[in-house]
Chain A
Amino acid sequence: MKTKSGILLLAVLAAAGLGLPLAASAADAVRSLRGTAVDQAAQQPGNYAVEKDHAPAAREYVQQPPLIPHKVDGYNITTNFNKCMDCHSWTRYRETGATKVSLTHFKDRDGKELSNISPRRYFCNQCHVAQTDAKPLIDNSFRKAEGLK
């Protein structure tokens, strides 16, 4: 009994001693890159327009999921129907003029090759995104991979 309450007392003291300065320094030290306080909402989301359809964009590095070079408004992916695959599947791409889905998308997580895309690639928007006219929020020093220059 005695040792238990002793530990409890120690714990309370430690929490009080550590917690206070921690809370104070957290507000001082942590700065959002976007220039606003961390506990404030980031910049107001703007009304950005999606880019018009254009030719496929050059890739920045080899394993990059290519950006979507067209509008995707209203392209729903549901259990019933995958709108993207209506143009990008190997049975449809010739008629629609779309790039056929990459071979890498047919492999399931055990490395087995399937006859159509693997369920883990079903939600295309997880990796492929359309672009808007938004400007980068902060400067950065990202450079294209050497081999793709």
Chain B
Amino acid sequence: MTVPKRIGKIRFGLISPQEFRKMSVVKVITADTYDDDGFPIEMGLMDPRLGVIDPGLRCRTCGGRPGECPGHFGHIDLVAPVIHVGFAKLIRKVLRAVCRECSKLMLSDLEKKEFLRQIRTLEELGQPTEDVVNKVFAEARKHKVCPYCGAPQGEIKFERPLSYIEDGHKLTPSDIRDRFERISDEDIMVMGMNPETARPEWTILTVLPVPPVTMRPSITLESGQRSEDDLTHKLVDIIRINQRFQENREAGAPQLIIEDLWELLQYHVTTFLDNTVSGVPPARHRSGRPLKTLSQRLKGKEGRFRGSLSGKRVNFSARTVISPDPNLSINEVGVPLEVAKELTVPIMVNPRNIEVVRKYVMRGPDNHPGVNYVTRSDGRRVKITERNCQEVAQQLEFGWKVDRQLADGDIVLFNRQPSLHRMSIMAHRVKVMPYKTFRLNPAVCPPYNADFDGDEMNLHVPQTEEARAEAEILMRVQENILSPRFGGPIIGGIHDYVTGSFLLTHKERRLDREKLMEVIKKLDITDIPEPAGYDENGDPYWTGKQIFSLILPKDLNLTFKADFCSNCPVCKGEDCENDAYVVIRDGVLLRGTIDAEAVGAFKGKVTDRIIKEYDPGVASQFLDRMTLLALRGIMLAGFSFGISDEDVPKEAAEQIHDVTRSAKESVQKLIEAYRAGELEPLPGRTLEETLEMRIMQTLGKARDSAGQIAGRYLGLDNSGVVMAVSGARGSMLNLTQMAACVGQQSVRGERIKRGYTDRTLPHFKRGDLGAEAHGFVESSYKKGLSPTEFFFHAIGGREGLVDTAIRTSQSGYLQRRLVNALQDLEVNYDGTVRETRGMIVQFKYGEDGVDPSRRDYASPDNVHRIIRKVLAGENA
């Protein structure tokens, strides 16, 4: 076993040519890879000393088999030095800072001493030295004459990608290297480098390391042809040019040819390191595809860091579209049969389960739930087929591992990106189903922030007992009903669940025996309460409140105001004529309407009380039954919303028109008063600001009263109102905009005027300050917008879109930084918060050591309730 090691420190520097040679196991001199028999050629790019990838062979350096041998570096001796692209900027800075003759850093000794001192202090404090170092380069560059030898300095021009031009002459990498070699250790330290680990001349390559074959394996195509890695292709180019260069130089070729070849060598080494340098045409494959070279392997989303280390693809996972299924428990997830046949759970065969496991194996892979693979004690894996399943089943022994297909009741992790909080991954029980989507109860949409407009989700199958236990105890949906964010239930009714509960429980909804049965037939309830009364025919009837009481725990006591409460100036409490004051006594809903405030996600007072007073199991059962009941409730009543639901009677339309017209008139009066200089400025405001505020106020009021007029004609017989009032979806404002008046459009909280001079559109007179000219939309959505209104509405609408786009990206980045800083912190059993080294961050979690999801809104009311309960228990 490998022993975990603690990393003491990491030091970054440059590798010297000596070090490159030292770590090299072979000097590569030939561009060939394999010989005709398919064996790697010695001193070639696939030299067996560089590591092994072919099965059956052993590494000539370490003796390891493929997989064991990490691979070993070789090297190429470059005929002439070339610049390392990554250091182009540093080379430019150093070139400009040192003397062309004596290679001294062009600063006075005193300055050098002072800068060095500053750098040392910053280093000791563990702070970045970048600013000081930049100052060093900036100061040294100012000298036109060397303060040491007096040599006049030429201007050094940098031309993309890699040319340094001094007095019209291009400096060769050799020239630069020569200059850098003569820089003293002291000067290097002033430039912020450590001469022992990073000398400036090491940025000019004379030796090129050849990466081990393990990081550039060749693949054999079906045709038997070998296909080499992009890096190998690039190395071949480098070696070829290197060879030609040497031959030409030895043959005494003309300077022009030598320069061309040098340039070419530089090009190949550059693209080997980075194939996206601007100004350098990317090296391409024969097919025209740009090669993926070293820096492309690391950079970006698909690169080694973000693509392979921070996140990677995993086994035992599945992804598909989600769709709703209210008949599932909130703890369940519907898994398509096709997925269930692919994913497996390992079972270790033992004396207790061998007969059961044997039955699974005998089913084969096609007969769900069957078995896909069997692993024997010696580690040999057998794929189960229709043909061998009987045979393998008979051979089964203790200690074998059987990969059983996913079946009902297995525990899996279910996830939707972006995983912003811990409820983004929860554990569900599998329910294998036909068709191709994952199914979930819509009540669990809020924690995932999922909807069904094409959202996809991921599913993972835990593979060990420990993982399964942990998932079941900590990650089950029912364990996550309470959100640690606000201490209330994040899981609960949405949309039709809320509407359904509302319709079922509002006022006195009477159901005869047949309807009662219809509503509760999906529930596991067998005891029917006494009828609430008998109708004129003498037939018994039950109320919706009675039926809802069936799913409440028998000793639940709770009173609260419904979402639907209109916040009357004096609350009449239990006598509320709107039926908005909920009273639950001993598990019976006596008064009030069940709406979003009672069972909705994020609110759910009833859910909240049940989970805190009983346990998550009771709460999840309540939610399961509530979802079934609510849907029956809505189906019983029948519920739809259409364009005609936005209609208001003629007299209402006239009243609304009167309101908007008089509002526009008073806006005109305000403008006239302003023009006449009669407007009184509000404290701290200019006259113009005052006018704008008064206009906004007037028009805002007009929209509100238009809404009120519409509201008077839209009662609870309107399904839009039912949804808005119960908290299921939408608001009265939405309805107002649809039925009465859309209202003022705004940009940055002002009327539409930003970016315009004199007028917003040619439809208006210059200098018009009136309501229509600055984005007041008098029409309703139902009526339709006039062309100018439509234009202003588009302006206001776009601001909303831009805001959301900006907000999500900003909050996403903020979240990333926060999570990166906090992810390894841990709350210990003694209540302290510590990081991985054991350093204490907080002596008590959150300073008070309280889990926010159990805090019960930190209300003293709840303490009183508990005391009352305890006292009642003692008296009984």
Chain A complexes with chain B = no
Residue numbers of B with Cβ under 8 A of A are none
Residue numbers of A with Cβ under 8 A of B are none
